[in-house]
Amino acid sequence: MEKVETTSAYDEWCLSVAPMMDWTDRVCRAFHRTLAPGARLYTEMVHAQAVIHGDRERLLGFDPMEHPVALQLGGSEPAALAQAARIGADWGYDEINLNVGCPSDRVQAGRFGACLMREPVLVAECVAAMRAVVSIPVTVKCRLGVDEQEEYGTLLEFIDTVAAGGCDTFVVHARKAWLKGLSPKENREVPPLRYGHVYRLKQERPALRILINGGITTVDAARAHLAQVDGVMLGRAAYHDPHVLHRLDAALAGTAEQPREALLRAFLPWVEAQLARGLALRHVTRHILGLFHGQPGGRAFRQILSEGASRPGTGIELIERALRATQDLSRAA
């Protein structure tokens, strides 16, 4: 596919996009790769048992353009995670990431996600089992703690225990999670951000690769974090305002920022190829709605795509129409 002229001139762990359920599917990742050629991309969380027994093409399929791309697994059974990790490595993923951060009731009922913050020995066993069967990195995405876990020492104990199992890369969401009483959305917003805990972790364990996640919405904020840790992971900011992902990639690579229209046009050949294979346009447009966030014409862009994408037979011309309307309103502003 046609790509915007740029280069990955920074460390591949420096910038990444968080795994987000129902959002970071293969279409979203292809779009994000167009925006940020150097960023590390993550799948939605996939349970180990689904990888073993489910439709692997649907669950694991990805475009070669997505590299470097990581498979995030959910689960707490070392043997099953090892089997799923081996399958993921065979499919060509660059990293296997274990979810120790999701606080949803469904995830807790399955004894995985954030509730594993209480079981560092088990997490270490899971990491060791996966490390034994794959040669690609096995990493962990975690929280600062859960429920009553307030002290930095609890986080450090968790990290040290899991590191002893063979993990040298941790993505730390700089909030703890409440396992009862807060929804997953509230768990992304209500518990206070404590970036200092993550900074201290890097200072005290310099041999570990520490990436920070949570509440990062601007290029300046990301660059400030990078003075303290090894990488930043953008979450919903990269989805709701995807141009910020591009701006950060360009800033890190030392390349010129590209206009939103140019980025979208660079993505369209990939979109056309997928539509020719039978992909419905609505599976594309939902991921690009935020591209003109905060810009003149941005509302018209979203409205045209939202109203038209589900109509039978709608093709790439809808995106072109939305672009024209955005350009007209931008010029008039």
Q: Confirm or deny that 3 is annotated as ligand binding.
A: no
Position 4 scores a pLDDT of 34
* Cβ atoms of residues 96 and 129 within 8 Å: no
The CATH homologous superfamily for domain 15-253 is Aldolase class I (3.20.20.70)
Answer yes or no: is 141 a known binding residue.
Answer: yes
Q: Is the pTM of this model over 0.85?
A: yes
Marked catalytic residue, from 14, 102, 115, 167? 102
DSSP for 160-195, written as a single string:
HHHHHTT--EEEEESS-B-SSS--HHHHTTSSPP-H
Give 58-71 pLDDT, tens digit per residue: 999 999 999 999 99
Domains 15-253 and 260-332 in one fold: no
20 is in an annotated binding site: yes
> Any idea how long the chain is?
333
Over the chain, what is the mean pLDDT? 93
* Residue 14 a catalytic site member: no
Would you state the pLDDT for residue 333? 63
CATH code for residues 260-332: 1.20.120.1460
Q: Where do the domains of the chain lie?
A: 15-253, 260-332
**What's phi and psi for 294, nearest 5 deg?**
75, 10
- 3-state class (DSSP) for residue 240: helix
SS3 sequence, 241-280? Answer: CCHHHHHHHHHHHCCCCCCHHHHHHHHHHHHHHHHHCCCC
Residues of the chain with pLDDT under 50: 1-7
> What is the structure's pLDDT at 104?
80
User: Tens digit of pLDDT for each residue in 181-191?
Assistant: 788 888 888 88
Instruction: Render pLDDT for 175-219 as a digit per residue (tens, 0 to 9).
Output: 998 888 788 888 888 889 999 999 999 999 999 999 999 999 999
Smallest Cα–Cα separation from 231: which of 260, 198, 204? 198
Looking at residue 8, its pLDDT comes to 59
